[in-house]
Structure 1
Amino acid sequence: MSQGDNQSSHCVLVVDDDPNILHLLETRLASAGFCVTTAHDGHEALTRLHEHTVDLVLSDIRMPGLSGQELLREIREQWPGLPVILLTAYGRIPEAVASVQQGAADYLTKPFDGRELVAKVQEVLAGRPCTRPQSHVSSELTDIGLVAGQSPAMAKLLTLVKRVAPSDVTVLLEGESGTGKELVARLLHRLSKRANGPLVVVDCGSTQPTLLESELFGHIKGAFTHAMQEKQGLIQAANEGTLFLDEIGNISMEMQTRLLRFLQEKTVRRLGDVHTTKVNCRVVAATNADLAAMVAQGTFREDLYYRLKVVRVHVPPLRDRREDIPALAQYFLASFSRQSDIPCPGLSEAALHRLEKHSWPGNVRELRHVLEVSALLSDNPLLSAENLHMEPSTQQPEDTVLSLDESERNALVRALKHVNWVQKDAADLLGISRRAMHYKVRKYGIDIPKRGEKF
């Protein structure tokens, strides 16, 4: 059977207000063996759908009258099982991503490759993602330690990452401390066209504000008192690669202004220098803070916020992906056992049940810490529930409702108890900077016992 015979049963409705693109799409799909019908706008597309049986709709997003997004909503209501692929200009990728989240099957950016177009249509009509990219994503996950497991929340995250990664759009990763935002940033880099370039990670939370400007932008010799030699900034070091700005909500207003200028102009000027340097890098930022609230409070620039959140990716907390805990536990135990050259213990059903019912205020980072300590201190080949080094008080009854401040204070106290009240260790466990840890301890009036003092 020829390719044309194989596709002849599938009819594709192509919608675009540009007659040249419409003709190009029609010709390319017809040559691949598809039955093609066309429409010049969204209203005509609805008429065609009432007149013909269609297996897939390929529509431009930006059209006069009824837009592609509005057409998508109409199709979702009237033909809920009909897949829709949207076409968008490169600069409007966030619009397309939002449409996918609202029910579109996928999107393609203009200009598109004809073979890519046909492959995408075949993939969607087959009702499954293409096997090669999925295999590629799976291997990348294993390499960087991002364990997906079986949860719908992580499946949704990975689908979005896969679609966004090949572009150069700025991505804002949002989520609680310890959820794995840096690992998601690494996956975005690995799946991007910049994968062979550098991935430069900047922890904006742990770097002193007075040093962050020099770290990011660099300086020339003599720019300030201790500048004994010139230094390249981390932004410039990320040229042709990806710049990951972690804890972006912690930077000062002055740094926000400088960073905004870089995002607008794609140039940097080292401290003390009069010349600027062009930098071509993709920017991914992460935060566990509510940047929108900070904008409303006047502590974060609104224009920078909108520059950073071109595409927003929410990294779910562990309590929203409990289905992944068995896979995560197995991965952490195996990894730690290899690194420490100790036998890898198993988990009893009771131990696994306790892990799955735990509240995990420190998220995946806390789970890893618990398993590593438990594996190290236990001589049993099978970890029981009693072998798990977890504070019983960390589990709040499900019907207990606490204020945000109460929840945060309890999480801080639990973390501090877990690490014998060493604030820097608690900060690492919770995934916050030491400066933020000291601030929160003072804010909530938490008494840190002196050494040797029982609490």
Structure 2
Amino acid sequence: MTNKSIQTALIVDDEPDIRDLLEITLTRMGINTYSASNLEEAYSHLSRTEFHLCLTDMNLPDGNGIDLVSNIQKNHPNIPVAVITAYGSIETAIAALKAGAFDFVSKPVELSRLRDLVDSALRLSQQQENKESKVSDAQEDKLLLGNSETMQKLRGQIRKLARSQAPVYISGESGSGKEMVARMIHQLGPRADAPFVPVNCGAIPNELMESEFFGHKKGSFTGAVENKLGLFQAADGGTLFLDEVADLPMAMQVKLLRSIQEKTVRPVGEQKEIPVNVRILSATHKDLNNEIDEGRFRQDLFYRINVIELKVPALRERVEDIPLLAETMLKRVADECDIPNARLSTDAINALKQYSFPGNVRELENIIERAFTLCEDDVIHAVDLHLQDNSSDARQTIDSAPAQQRNGVNLEEYLETIEKQTIEQALEETRWNKTAAAKKLGISFRALRYRLKKLGME
């Protein structure tokens, strides 16, 4: 067996010149290399030697690279495999990623791109070897609460996807926790030390979209008073999370597709393209297949971002997790107010379990926060929850709302401003007597205290 302190790579290619190039490059990086010209030789090496990385060509005399990827996935799952594809062969690269390849690199091989890929693969291999990750099991549970079979399966899928560099499309209803899933994929993978950059595609004005994504050069348009890095460059080395990707206008979809495929961006006003190394995760609550049928989303972009789909369950699909989620949320809110004994009554928990939650986890959090401010004696009863009508109209209202309102971007800020102004007015009219101000506002003293703390007005 190979000394574990020495990193070892298997190179599989039937072209001697390519093998030599890869061997020289990896050797200069301090990596021991073994070479094979076909699948038979590769399998022989794998049976005798412990590897930290495998680089394989797609076309081999006795099979193809996907055969090798599948074999390693089955028999040596801790070895990251990168596939070398022909130039422009995106379909082949996607097929390899779906089979379980860590990443791909196109011919002619760019050495800088190859070194980045090898570094990422070896970091992942090191995580596996040390049985460590950037997020412990306890942290995972905190990030994505739930003991249901559905959630245990989801966490297992996340761990597996974190090992790959394949683009992942995260589907699920509004408020179900898609961004949290994206963060976990990032934090459990080899890019964990690099930036995670989330962007709400529905919240960027069309006229600023190209500048936001790709950056711009000083003087490239009115108002461009200095150079600006775009979101791709901000996420370089890390992960770019495109939330509500279905809201991108068609013209931007074309430019985004090119940047993803070519791994480059061209800032507004620049003549040359800049290489970027980002992993793309995307999400939307909409049905992208329907968006394609209606002509609102490009099919080629869909295939590029939807290499692997991960579905996040709605809260009503994991009812058994509701008590744990509600109690955890209540503890967080109560701790902020130094009230350690707050609890949910049995009737409140039963009411929550019978509610359909059209707004999912986000709605549950809002319900718990509101109920905490209104309840008496630190106990939340069913009547304090003020659950809305459980009809299907609630879901239609959420899913048909404008993107900015649905994601709480401008609407939440607006409502917060109104709330601050109302509280300030009541405090001024009572000469900042909080007890009198609470009475004037029709809420309890504790409710006012909580709102002041949450709004940063203490």
TM-score (norm: length of structure 2): 0.64
- Once the two structures are superposed, the pairs formed by residues 143-222 of structure 1 within 5 Å of their partners are 145-147=143-145, 149-222=146-219
Partner of 2:407: 431
Amino acid across the alignment from 2:294:
Q
Which piece of structure 1 moves more, 341-350 or 321-330? 341-350
Q: Secondary structure at the match of 1:300?
A: coil
Q: Secondary structure at the match of 2:368?
A: helix
Shift of 1:95: 2.5
Contact conserved, 1:205 with 1:432, CA < 8 A, in 2?
no
Contact conserved, 1:140 with 1:187, CA < 8 A, in 2?
no
Shift of 1:25: 3.6
Partner of 1:380: 377
Q: Secondary structure at the match of 2:304?
A: helix
Q: Tell me how far apart the structure 1 counterparts of residues 399 and 97 of structure 2 sit (CA, whole Å).
A: 39
Q: Tell me how far apart the structure 2 counterparts of residues 135 and 206 of structure 1 sit (CA, whole Å).
A: 31
Partner of 1:409: 396
- Once the two structures are superposed, the pairs formed by residues 40-439 of structure 1 within 5 Å of their partners are 62=67, 89-91=81-83, 92-96=96-100, 136-142=135-141, 145-147=143-145, 149-391=146-388, 393=389, 395-396=390-391, 408-409=395-396, 411=398, 430-431=406-407
Q: 1:204 to 1:171 in 2, by over 3 A?
A: same
Partner of 2:431: none
Contact conserved, 1:333 with 1:344, CA < 8 A, in 2?
no
Shift of 1:237: 0.7
Contact conserved, 1:216 with 1:233, CA < 8 A, in 2?
yes
Amino acid across the alignment from 1:141:
E
Q: Tell me how far apart the structure 2 counterparts of residues 245 and 356 of structure 1 sit (CA, whole Å).
A: 32
Identity of aligned residues (%): 36
Which runs of 5 or more structure 1 residues have no equivalent in the other structure? Answer: 1-16, 30-40, 43-59, 73-82, 98-109, 121-129, 397-401, 414-422, 436-455
- Once the two structures are superposed, the pairs formed by residues 28-47 of structure 1 within 5 Å of their partners are none
Q: 1:194 to 1:268 in 2, by over 3 A?
A: same
Shift of 1:22: 2.7
Q: Tell me how far apart the structure 2 counterparts of residues 248 and 176 of structure 1 sit (CA, whole Å).
A: 14
Q: Secondary structure at the match of 2:183?
A: helix
What is the root-mean-square deviation in Å for CA atoms of aligned residues?
3.6
Q: 1:165 to 1:135 in 2, by over 3 A?
A: closer
Partner of 2:39: 18
Count of residues paired in the alignment:
330
Q: Secondary structure at the match of 1:93?
A: helix
Contact conserved, 1:205 with 1:248, CA < 8 A, in 2?
yes
Shift of 1:301: 1.0
Q: Tell me how far apart the structure 2 counterparts of residues 411 and 248 of structure 1 sit (CA, whole Å).
A: 17
Shift of 1:225: 1.5
Report Cα offsets for 1:21-55 as digits up to 9, x if no partner: 332343359xxxxxxxxxxx99xxxxxxxxxxxxx
Amino acid across the alignment from 1:186:
R
TM-score (norm: length of structure 1): 0.64
Contact conserved, 1:222 with 1:228, CA < 8 A, in 2?
yes
Contact conserved, 2:133 with 2:188, CA < 8 A, in 1?
no
Amino acid across the alignment from 1:26:
S
Amino acid across the alignment from 1:292:
N
Q: Secondary structure at the match of 2:67?
A: coil
Q: Secondary structure at the match of 2:203?
A: coil
Which runs of 5 or more structure 2 residues have no equivalent in the other structure? Answer: 1-37, 51-61, 84-95, 102-117, 412-458
Q: Tell me how far apart the structure 1 counterparts of residues 210 and 339 of structure 2 sit (CA, whole Å).
A: 43
1:27 to 48, 52, 71: 48
Q: 1:302 to 1:217 in 2, by over 3 A?
A: same
Q: 1:344 to 1:228 in 2, by over 3 A?
A: farther
Shift of 1:182: 0.6
Amino acid across the alignment from 1:237:
A
Contact conserved, 1:318 with 1:360, CA < 8 A, in 2?
yes
Q: Tell me how far apart the structure 2 counterparts of residues 169 and 250 of structure 1 sit (CA, whole Å).
A: 22
Contact conserved, 1:62 with 1:88, CA < 8 A, in 2?
no
Shift of 1:210: 1.5
Q: 1:136 to 1:235 in 2, by over 3 A?
A: closer
Report Cα offsets for 1:123-158 as digits up to 9, x if no partner: xxxxxxx9x569944233256x321x1112211111
